[in-house]
Amino acid sequence: MNRLERMMQRCANREAERERAFNEKVARERARREKRHAENVIGGTPKTDQAKELALTLMKVHGLHDWLFEFDRAVFRYGCCHWVRKTITLSRALVELNLMQETGDCILHEIAHALAGVTHWHDKHWKKTAKSIGCTGTRCYGDHVKQPRGKWTCSCPVCGYTAERRKRTKSSCGKCSPTFDPRFLLIWTENL
């Protein structure tokens, strides 16, 4: 092989490597999407469709005739009551992950906010309103509500500490050293 041929060979190798990495990424994304979809469908109907229908029905039953329903992109709070926009929103991710029973309770929780009014937040009046419409009247959610998994798992090579994170950062283990220490650099793996 002469110099030019070697250069072209290297170029082709790099190109193949890039293509392989890209295809792997596409396959990972697809697997993640399919898993989410499988978790969402119960009895042939997506939970998100069931949740929307349930929300609209319950809102009508409790007199919120001029209120709207939407999904939002939150991952840590289940639902939200927007008094100004007169809209109740639910987290699409949490609806997909959890049982309809939890979603139903969350819808009633938000309806109670709408009925009690913006000034009451989670006070006694709100709680009474919530219980009167059949909500458990608990704060937004307890330990029984599932949250989406982080995209990444970090682990400490020294003490074995692991945690899930939404984003990958360059940091060291907080258990082994309170300040950044490269000896305890966390190792990251992508969750599927």
Interface residues toward Zn ion, by CB under 5 A: 156, 158-159, 161, 173, 175-176
> Least separation, in Å, of the C-beta of 105 and Zn ion?
11
Q: Which is nearer to Zn ion, 49 or 123 (CB)?
A: 123
Q: Which is nearer to Zn ion, 51 or 156 (CB)?
A: 156
54 near 36, Cβ under 8 Å?
no
Residue 140: CB atoms within 10 A of its CB come to: 14
> Least separation, in Å, of the C-beta of 125 and Zn ion?
13
Q: Which is nearer to Zn ion, 85 or 175 (CB)?
A: 175
135 near 109, Cβ under 8 Å?
yes
Q: Which residues contact 86 (CB under 8 A, 6 or more apart)?
A: 64, 66, 67, 68, 114
> Least separation, in Å, of the C-beta of 30 and Zn ion?
34
Q: Which is nearer to Zn ion, 31 or 159 (CB)?
A: 159
Q: Which is nearer to Zn ion, 97 or 156 (CB)?
A: 156
C-alpha span between 192 and 190 (Å, rounded): 7
> Least separation, in Å, of the C-beta of 181 and Zn ion?
10
DSSP 36-81: HHHHHEETTEEHHHHHHHHHHHHHHHTT-TT-EEEEE--SS-SEEE
Rama region for 98: left / alpha / beta (φ>0; ψ in -120 to 50; rest): beta
> Least separation, in Å, of the C-beta of 50 and Zn ion?
22
> Tokens standing for 103?
């979603």
